[in-house]
Structure 1
Amino acid sequence: MTAAYGEPHIELVVEGPGDAKAAPLLLRNWLRLRGEYKELLGKPIPCNGRENATCLGGIEGYVATAAARPGCKAVLVILDGEGDDVCNLGLGLMQRLQSVTHLPAAVSLADHHWEDWLYASAETLQIPNFDYEEGKRKSIAAALKPIKYVKPTWQPRLTARMDIELAASRSPSLRHFLRKFDELVICCVGEG
């Protein structure tokens, strides 16, 4: 489900098709944990690769499209950090998107990949012999072999299994992401 046409909501700009399915799932589950049951999310807009968001005019186009949707009260951009300096990249993208909208907005980057947020809740993902170890990064794709890890299928499936509070306690970038989302929810609900 997404917010009804014209209803106050937060638009999501995401990296790809896996994120387009997983992000709303994660955020709705987070809202339920917080006692919020109103539908506050619009249909995600996938960039189909981080490079499409970071290229000249990229983020601006996606955010302008999101902000123009009827009922949009805020925009949340979710991308992978891919090992880059996420603070500087996020700040740069935020400055760029502010050139196309005055709505409340946030850019959030997973420290490396969405899968690192999943790994922070490894023991709840129901993958045999896949346990969390502090300070390590383990590959979900390798753990699933011989089954192939296909993001649009596995990312939402594993996101549905994750313990968000446990993962957030282990992942600073997930905590930061959820904090930014909570701020946008206040903007959205306060106006709705």
Structure 2
Amino acid sequence: MTAGPYSQHIGIVVEGPGDAKSLPILLRNWLLLKEDYRDFLGKPIPCNGRENATVQGGIEGYVATAASRPGCQAVLVVLDGEGDLVCELGPSMVQRARSVTHIPVELCLADRNWEDWLYASAETLQMDGFSYEPGRRRSIAAALKPVKYVKPTWQPRLTARMDISLAAERSPSLGRMLRKFDELSQLITA
């Protein structure tokens, strides 16, 4: 479910179609763990590639679109770090994002990518022989073979299987994103 067109909600900006399907699943499951049954997630706006967000005017346009929807109280942006130093890229991107609206905006970068968040809960993904090993990065695509990893199909499916608490313990960037989401969710009073 998505918040109604005029309901108070958190606007969501994501990197692509897989994330547009996966982030609401992740956030709703997180809310369920906390016994928060409110429906306040806006319809995700995909950038269709991180490069579209990082170009001048890119993130600003996506955030302005989300923020301008009736009822939007805050905006959460979730993108892949893709190997960049998230401690440098994140602050510059969030500053740009905040420049186009008066409502709160938080930007979270998955340290490398969404699949690293999934890997942090590897043993709960129901993939034979796929387990988490600290300090190691294993490929979800390789673990699924001979089935092909198609991100818009598999990413939401695997996200629904995640043990979010376990993954957040193992992945600092996921834990950080959930903390920022919790802060934004406090702004929704409906």
TM bracket, shorter-chain basis: over 0.9
| Matched AA of 1:167 | A
Cα contact 1:50–1:79 (8 A) shared by 2: yes
Alignment of 1:33-182 (within 5 A): 33-182=33-182
**What's the offset of the Cα at 1:20?**
0.2
- Cα distance in 2 for partners of 1:186, 1:110 equals 22
Alignment partner of 1:13 is 2:13: yes
| Matched AA of 1:13 | V
| 1:6-55 CA-partner distances (Å, limit 9, x unpaired) | 11000100000000000000000001111110101000000000000000
Question: Taking structure 2 as the reference length, what is the TM-score of the superposition?
Answer: 0.99
Task: Please provide the CA RMSD for this pair.
Answer: 0.6
- Cα distance in 2 for partners of 1:98, 1:27 equals 22
- Cα distance in 1 for partners of 2:174, 2:95 equals 21
| Matched AA of 1:7 | S
Cα contact 1:104–1:187 (8 A) shared by 2: no
Between stretches 14-23 and 82-91, larger displacement belongs to 82-91
Gaps spanning 5+ residues in structure 1: where? none
Gaps spanning 5+ residues in structure 2: where? none
Secondary structure of the 1:187 match is coil
**What's the offset of the Cα at 1:130?**
0.4
How many pairs were matched up? 190
| Matched AA of 1:169 | E
Secondary structure of the 2:188 match is helix
Secondary structure of the 2:92 match is helix
